[in-house]
Structure 1
Amino acid sequence: MNRYVVGVAGVAGVAVLAVGWLCGIFFMALATLLLLLALGGGYLAYRQYTLKFPASHASGGARSEGSTPSNSTRTSTKRTAEDSQSLARQMLDQGRYSLLLRPQIAQSIPPKFLQQAQDLLDEEMTLVPGGETILGRGVSTSTETPEYLDGRVVQVEGFYLDRYQVTNEQFHRFVEGGGYEQISLWDPEIVPALLEFVDQTGEPGPRFWMNGKYAHGQGKHPVVGVCWYEAAAYARWVGKRLPTDPEWVKSGSWPVPLPGARPIQRKFPWGDAFDQNRCNLWGCGRGATVPVDQFQDGMSVGGAHQLIGNVWEWTSSRFGAWQSGSTPLVLDASMRSLRGGAFDTYFETQSTCDFQSGDKAIARKRNVGFRCAIGICDLIPDESMQAEEAPAQVESYEELAEVTS
């Protein structure tokens, strides 16, 4: 129905109504009034239809299934694709590649960006295969007679671990990205205290920064002065998490399974003999942090750097959670586990893969940092990567040297 036809009919109807009324022809006037109402209702329906289905109106009727989408539809689809690519680029630039590889997000990301994310994952993280590891070994001095602890055998699922400790440069992206303002990233119990997590000038950020920035030349050094909650929030922001104690120990000691026996694992990532030239501890004489890619001779079998030395590392576990049952620890529930030793750690016995220290979750110290992890099951399968082989089984202790060399 054309709106101009409706208009002409309306004018004619009004004229006829006036003439009819003046001539006293009541029934003619009534009929004309009903005609006007009908035409008006038809026009309103017509307008509603054209507003709701503009593409169909423009083509003179409803579009068939095989017809070409309208310009507005194509524009909307193109804009959605561009927005998705822009978001993917931003997340890659921020180092949040693992978020793109999560199944919930990967389905809406173009394949080329998924491949870039997978390449970054392989470059920045090391794959630690699943298997058994031993926690809580050592000598207990909690009694008058020292007691050797065999530890507990714990099963660990396969996971990825950061090759390096999180740096100032990486954490600065989190600060610039509004990480301290995104409440969903933080554990609920610490939200009221977020305003206290500031640097020396009162800006949101690690304790020893100034004006929201790290010291010049410290970009590749591990971030310090962050509490456990700050480390956990950063990990969520990049799509990862803090490693558990068993995961951290397994990545450093790299256990070798023995048939029918407990696995054999290293005291240090490089072996059983302490070597101060392989790590940044007190004996090295540095007296401060160093870039996270130094001391390459001290990396683990899987390729993780500085698991021992430079800075202590927060884990997701509570302090004492994996200690021997014969010497239980009764501690404040706010204590969290620390692993690996730092630049100011004096005793080598406190820098083994199995040694556990701890501190309050809100502690922000200059010798404590962290690295992140993510489970294999949390990511989309990498079709280009061959299935990981299980750790080699050895039949005797003589074969151990060949397997681990």
Structure 2
Amino acid sequence: MPWSASPSPRTNARKKKPARSERAADIPHEELREELGKSLDSLDKAETVIAYIQERAGLLQARDNRIYTFPHRTFQEYLAARYLMRQAEFDTMLRERVRRDLDWWREVYLLAAGSARTTPRNICELVEALVPNDPEPGKLKRVNLDHILLASQALHETEFIRNVVKTPPEEEPDRFSRVFTRHQNWLQQLLEADQQIAARDRARAGNMLALLSDPREAVTTLDHMEFCLVPAGDFWMGSNEYDDEKPPHLNKQLTYDYWISRFPITVAQYQLFVNATEHEPEDPDCLKDPANRPVRWVSWYEAIKFCDWLTRHWRKQGLLPKQWRVQLPSEAEWEKAARGGLKVPKPVLMRPIKELAAAQPKLTDNEKPQRRFPWGENEDANCANCIGTKINETSAVGCFPGGKSLYGCEEMAGNVWEWTRSLWGKDPLDPEYKYPYDPADGRENINAPNDIRRVLRGGAFGYNQRLVRCACRHWGSPDLRNDFIGFRVVVSPSL
């Protein structure tokens, strides 16, 4: 009976629908008596059992002589899950109920999967009932995101990945791997589908992908990080919107090519640095976010330490020429990567570290060389994780492909503020290093003392769109750590 009980019909349809955990699970006395009578071959015995369950076990509460309910909804959910998993067509029965009322049957589905933890074949049946097919990019808008997330959560909670990594020969390794990979592929497709899936739902997909071990090596490893080429050349820097951005001017200082990371450094990548160096983070919270989100709670000094170590690490592997190094971008390098130079490569040139080399891409005119945002002139909450997107926390990198710059780098607007190696000065209200930008005036002194603030760029998830513009400048003390600040890196000549 627990599997068939339903919300109380007495709920006034005009009132606000109560949450799932608040809704009554009613069991009519006659239905309970008849079902137990079938199992016990006696209606009298059924009455005795009902009385015992109510008076001694406390599993049922009588609201009157005709209706019973469970004292806590979890009892009903657990019993419903156990009952359904004993049925020959448990997968079909659960699929029909989840499709009919997801909120009502979510926990039953997860409890059913949990009860099958030691029988991975049954878990496969459950998740394939909701997600039977591989993703088709052109049809993502018609999928039920909640069903994919629920099935993926079942895989996570049952630690299904163990059946993919270690599978006895008599089991079905190909099927287990196929089912697990299917859900990873679905989640990756969903988090990148910014023309079909809303930003908050893309962020949900990214969170679940982290729980299923995000397979994107460019996001979770160091040696497969992707870098975008920014060719030498002039670009417009600054704007007329705030005093510290004035005057807008043509910057002619970047006479060299450099490569900037496609994404900010992620938690997974920073964890690799911590493991390799036994670095003790100044704030342990920096490693607590999902692995595919930007690392935060990292000071400027820690970001510099990461860059210095990665330079040595890649040189030792022969991946980085001696005359090149990994470092934080200068303020000018960052803004050019976000806004674009007078000339930009077409197509974009993006490579992993082992394939970086001198390149001569075809260049074309930047149609909007003083653009406000990496994607163009107008605010667009679908292009950046900022306050208008209402995610209200960081998101997995890659959720905002529509916000990428002309060089292919993403997350330059929103998600987290990013450290640069450039100096701001001591006064937070009045930058010592003003525009026009002059790299010879001391602003690129990497050994500046602690009381000199460093420049931050890019805005973050809790900031409005005016603060995620290409030209927007912010500052932070080099020992500052908070939940809005991360960093990305560039590979460039040692100047």
TM-score (norm 2): 0.42
Q: Residue in 2 aligned with 1:31?
A: none
Partner of 2:434: 323
Counterpart selection for 2:230 from 125, 128, 133? 128
Structure 1 residue 324: deviation in Å? 2.3
Question: How far 1:132 moved relative to its partner?
Answer: 1.0
Equivalent residues of 2:235, 2:251 under 8 A apart: yes
2:482 aligned partner? 365
Structure 1 stretches lacking a partner, 5+ long: 1-91, 98-119, 181-203, 379-405
Contact 2:238 2:246 in 1 (8 A): no
* Alpha-carbon distance between aligned partners in 1 of 2:246 and 2:457, rounded to the nearest angstrom: 20
SS in 1 for 2:337: helix
1:244 equivalenced with 2:333 (yes/no): no
Could you tell me whether the CA contact under 8 Å between 1:135 and 1:323 is conserved in 2?
no
Alignment-mate amino acid for residue 253 of structure 2: Q
Aligned match of 2:96: none
Q: Secondary structure at the match of 1:155?
A: coil
Distance 1:179 1:334 in 2: 28
Question: Structure 2 matches for 1:276-295, cutoff 5 A?
Answer: 276-295=381-400
SS of alignment partner, residue 306 of structure 2: helix
Instruction: Tell me what 1:175 maps to.
Output: 274
1:152-203 CA deviation, whole Å, 9 max, x = no partner?
A: 52321210111011011110111111252xxxxxxxxxxxxxxxxxxxxxxx
Separation in structure 2 between the aligned mates of residue 152 and residue 355 of structure 1, nearest angstrom: 16
Q: Is the 8 A contact 1:315 1:336 kept in 2?
A: yes
Query: Counterpart of 1:363 in 2: which secondary structure?
Result: coil
Matches within 5 A, 1:210-221: 214-215=287-288, 218-221=290-293
Which entry has the higher C-alpha Rg, 1 or 2? 1
Measured in 2, the distance between the counterparts of 1:131 and 1:287 equals 37
Q: Report the Cα distance in structure 2 between the residues aligned to 1:236 and 1:95, rounded to whole angstroms.
A: 17
Q: In the alignment, which residue of structure 2 is the partner of 1:155? A: 253
2:416–2:485 CA contact under 8 A, matched in 1? yes
- Given that 1:95 and 1:170 are in contact with CA atoms closer than 8 Å, whether structure 2 keeps it comes out as yes
What CA distance in whole angstroms lies between the structure 2 residues aligned with 1:206 and 1:333?
18
Query: Residue 134 and residue 172 in structure 1: after superposition, are their counterparts in 2 closer, same or farther (change >3 A)?
Result: same
Specify the SS of the correspondent of 2:327. coil
Q: 1:290 to 1:310 in 2, by over 3 A?
A: same
Opposite residue 226 of structure 2, the aligned amino acid is: E
Q: Note the aligned Cα RMSD (angstroms).
A: 3.5
Q: How far has the Cα of 1:140 moved from its partner?
A: 4.3
Q: What's the secondary structure of 1:338's corresponding residue?
A: strand
Give unpaired runs (5+ residues) of structure 2.
1-217, 312-325, 345-366, 425-430, 444-448
Identity %: 28
* 1:351 Cα offset (Å): 1.3
Aligned to 1:256: 342
Work out the number of aligned pairs and report it: 228
Rounded to whole Å, the distance in 1 between the matches of 2:410 and 2:243 is: 31
Does 1:340 pair with 2:445? no
Residue deviations 1:191-246 (CA, integer Å, cap 9, x gap) = xxxxxxxxxxxxx225252xxx833x600011100000001111111111101111
Q: Is the 8 A contact 1:133 1:263 kept in 2?
A: no
- Looking at structure 2, the residues matched to 139 and 369 of structure 1 have their Cα atoms a distance apart, in angstroms, of 25
Residues 281 and 140 (structure 1 numbering): CA distance in 2 closer, same or farther, change over 3 Å? closer
Pair 1:333–1:153, CA change in 2 (3 A): farther
Q: Give, as a single letter, the amino acid of the residue that structure 2 aligns with 1:151.
A: H
